[in-house]
Structure 1
Amino acid sequence: MGNPKTETIRLAETYAAKGDPDGWFEEFYDRAGGDISRVYWADLEPNPLLLDWVDAHPTPAGRRAVVVGCGLGDDAEALRERGYSVVGFDISPSAIDMCRKRYPDSPVEYVVADLFDLPASWLRGFDLVYECNTIQILTGANRLRALSAIAELVAPDGEVIVSCRSRASDDHSQTFPIALDRHEIDGFVREGLTETHFLAYDDHQDPPVPHFFAVYRRLA
């Protein structure tokens, strides 16, 4: 068996060459055949920085949250446990099927949806938007399109929490996944949101991987 990351890069490149740079997501999850252990990038636990932030900023029960590219559902379930009414969406039907099977009794609304063709009722409709690592696995103009689409989910007085790999501004590497630099993540400010928290840190991998964890609010 080959290296899973190398195989994923080849898969993504194949779809990009066909003019369908996002099409590989479904094939990747379909290949997993419902086996969550084959989704090699999944931590199978919620992001601890997300939990720290939400626990430090409790909100009234029932506020709406959406998890962009929800993968296997861990972050969506964590937000549900903290009182949010949660939508988790992914472009991959196989990923959503895995979420529903992992959490068969969950009230989280797991939905197949395309970030570039979202339901009109979702626009500016969520008090909390969580984006983790979606932009970094896109290429070209789709990165800016994705950032703009994510920002448009944030309701007045709502916020988007962004977790992603980071890189220095003079690093022009196109190695997959393509990490965000400070100018790129500042696109949320250019979309009309206000930065309220920003953390640059190295994770605990060997060698460590630099990350950003940032929060942006749409002022009412």
Structure 2
Amino acid sequence: MSEDPDVQAQRLARESLARDDATGWFENLYAAASDGTAVVPWDRGFANPMLTEWFEASEPNGSGKTAVVIGAGTGWDAELVADHGYATTAFDISPTAVETAQRNHPDSKAQYVVANLLDTPAEWHRAFDLVVEIFTVQALPIKLQPTAVGKVGELVRPGGTLVVIASRRAEGQPDDEVEGPPWPLTRATVESFASAPDLRLIALDEVPVPTSPAATRWRAEFLRD
């Protein structure tokens, strides 16, 4: 396999977008990875370190609480959340991703399901004590991001917490100069997760990427009143 994983993901995304299908490339990528002909660039084989750090610093008690992990992929972040006691729902639009997560974690306490962030089940509306969004919104074209941001926020129940981790977009960079995927988020986009008056931004950190110190990522925490 000679093609760089990031380049391959971008190629699949562009082919999907050319068919006016903004999300079909996720299944194509995970299916190719399952066949051994591709690598999912963001599949690290362990939970996102910035999420791990958040748990270590916040020490939340998930006992008796619910959580949802958006765009769960092969399940490493969901396993971390479930290990902290949350009754965890983890969803992905790719059936192959869900099958891979279930195969990777046969004794998992998390429930893996196929679902679309842009059309989530009605019973998920404001249903979760903890919502984890990592890299899903930025994997969608910029024109879809406002809708996706709103959908994420509507999963958080009163008193619940939303954690967002995303690549940082350079300030002032025009939309048409961003060649995704990913389409990194501006500070304004991250802050817009709090567009509902009862969902408040309580922390926003800009964290250097260990493997590329010149690059940074956002980690934001929101609370619903």
TM-score bracket for this pair, using the shorter chain length: over 0.9
Matches within 5 A, 1:64-103: 64-103=66-105
Amino acid at match of 1:214: A
What is aligned with 1:150?
A: 152
Aligned-residue offset at 1:207: 5.4
Q: Distance in 1 between matches of 2:49 and 2:212?
A: 19
Contiguous gaps of at least 5 residues in structure 2: none
Over the aligned positions, Cα root-mean-square deviation in angstroms equals: 1.7
Q: Distance in 1 between matches of 2:123 and 2:157?
A: 11
Quick check: 77-86 or 182-191, which moved more? Answer: 182-191
TM-score by length of 1: 0.94
| 1:9 equivalent in structure 2 | 10
Q: Any stretches of 5+ residues in structure 1 without a counterpart?
A: none
Give the aligned partner of residue 112 of structure 1: 114
* Alignment partner, residue 186 of structure 1: 191
For the 8 Å contact 2:207–2:218, the answer to whether it is kept is yes
- How many correspondences in the alignment? 219
- TM-score by length of structure 2 reads 0.92
Once the two structures are superposed, what CA deviation does each residue of 1:72-124 show, in whole Å capped at 9, x if it has no partner? 11111111111111000000000000000011121211000011111111110
Deviations, residues 166-194 of structure 1 (Å, cap 9, x unaligned): 02321223122111111111111213310
Residues 36 and 76 of structure 1: CA distance in aligned 2, closer, same or farther (over 3 Å): farther
Judge conservation of contact 1:34–1:98 (CA < 8 Å) in 2: no
The answer on 1:213 being equivalent to 2:219 is yes
Q: 1:45 corresponds to which residue?
A: 46
C-alpha separation in 1, matches of 2:163 and 2:35: 28
Which amino acid is 2:82 matched to? R
Identity of aligned residues (%): 34
